[in-house]
Amino acid sequence: MPGRSEKREKPSASELQGLRRRCEELSASVESMRAYYEDLLGSLQDGIIIVEPNGHIRSINQAAEELTGLSAQMFHGRPFEQIFPNDRSLQELVRKTMESGRTHANFDARLTRQDGSQVVISAVSSLISDGVGQARGTVLALRDQTGIRELEERLQRSDRLAALGTVAAGVAHEIRNPLAGLRGAAQLLEGEPDFPPALREYTSVIVKEVDRLGAIVEQLLSFATPRGPVLRACNLHEILDSLFFLERAPLGAANVTVQRQYDPQLPDILADPSEIRQLFLNLIRNGVEAMPGGGDLIVRTRYERSAKRCGGRSVAVTEIVDQGSGFDPEIERRLFTPFFTTKEKGTGLGLAICLRIVEDHGGAMEATSLPGRGSRFQVWLPLAKQPETSSPHNEPHRTAQGVRP
């Protein structure tokens, strides 16, 4: 009849089945595409953070989680400035990109990690836009520059140390013989029958100071002409325990309590035991001297499967933490420089020798501090047996109690 709407025909069962199959195919295609892009982001070595136009974080990849020390759940939906409150340079990058629509970069930015430590990064911020040029957000790519900066510093330091070592060796050899003559002359004077007893005090001072200079000369020679480590598998905990036994009297006199927080399943390291003893004895004594009023000296060990600082090798990490007054950033930058010291009677060679020992072993060393809150020295030393390369997704998580499945 005119005016009556035509009745639509119901789709047949075969048509419904075809539509359902088509929807399932589209859903599978979307899911496959989503998984592809997740795998793509996950395989990137650079940290990727996607920020929405309102400034909230949409997603991050695994590399960004590792770089920041935060999980993806902690990022999702939260304001960028809330996650990175202390990183103004990164905030500025994102803001400039959103305002100008152009890519901006900072190759000397600082990123504050969850544990409070800072890493040097390069950051590139680019606009995400749709087909008509409408902004849909910002993608921030972060690359850890720590390894590159450390390599640059190591090369510069090696050049300086090579020249310094040549000079130091020459000076040490020239000083050693006159010192031996001074000491011998003082002892001969003391042995004279008619030598005045009142002057014996002065000759003993001469002998004592000559011995002190002799020790400095030996340090100079050790620094200038290293013999090179004789490597073998050794137990790090046994070395540390032998040092604490050796230093038990000085530790007690200084009212310092040692807290040992060892990983009980830590594998053997590949090292020269005598040099490793020298390394940690120096660090332990430094920690004790940093606490003139006493306190706790924390010695912590842990396993790290792939240390970027050591070329991706598996390492044992040792941390020595004191409760002293700490040191400011300017001192931190110069701490391993030969002949730089903050001690009244220090030579400035102790930490320089420690760093040389660590680098001779293919390891790495770092000192961090907050003024008034103590200092922390970390040492990375390669393991004697390196595990076979495996996917990080199949890697068990190690804790202080062992392996967590």
- Does the pLDDT of residue 395 top 50, yes or no? no
59-68, 314-323, 339-348: range with lowest mean pLDDT: 339-348
pLDDT band at 260 (very low <50, low <70, confident <90, very high): very high
Q: Hey, what domains does the chain have and what are their CATH numbers?
A: 45-144 (3.30.450.20), 149-225 (1.10.287), 229-387+396-405 (3.30.565.10)
Output the average pLDDT for the chain. Answer: 81
Burial class from Cβ neighbours inside 10 Å (0-12, 13-18, 19+) for residue 206 reads middle
Paired strand residues for 233: 270
- Does the pLDDT of residue 268 top 90, yes or no? yes
For 270-309, the pLDDT digits (tens) are: 999 989 998 999 999 989 988 988 999 999 999 999 888 8
- pLDDT > 90: what percent of the chain? 23
For 127-151, the pLDDT digits (tens) are: 988 777 788 889 899 988 877 877 7
- pLDDT > 70: what percent of the chain? 85
Residue reference for tokens 């598998």: 233
How high is the pLDDT of residue 22?
Answer: 84
Alpha helices in 192-328 (DSSP H): 200-224, 236-246, 248-253, 273-289
For 212-259, the pLDDT digits (tens) are: 888 777 766 666 666 678 899 999 999 999 999 999 999 999 999 999
Tokens of 133: 């040029």
Helix (H) or strand (E) holding 20: helix 13-43
Instruction: Measure the CA–CA gap between 354 and 359, rounded to whole angstroms.
Output: 9
How high is the pLDDT of residue 315?
Answer: 95
**293 Cβ neighbours under 8 A, 6+ residues apart:** 255
pLDDT band at 162 (very low <50, low <70, confident <90, very high): low
How high is the pLDDT of residue 368?
Answer: 87
pLDDT band at 67 (very low <50, low <70, confident <90, very high): confident
Alpha helices in 44-145 (DSSP H): 62-68, 72-75, 80-83, 88-100
Closest CA to 364 of 297, 298, 315, 301: 315
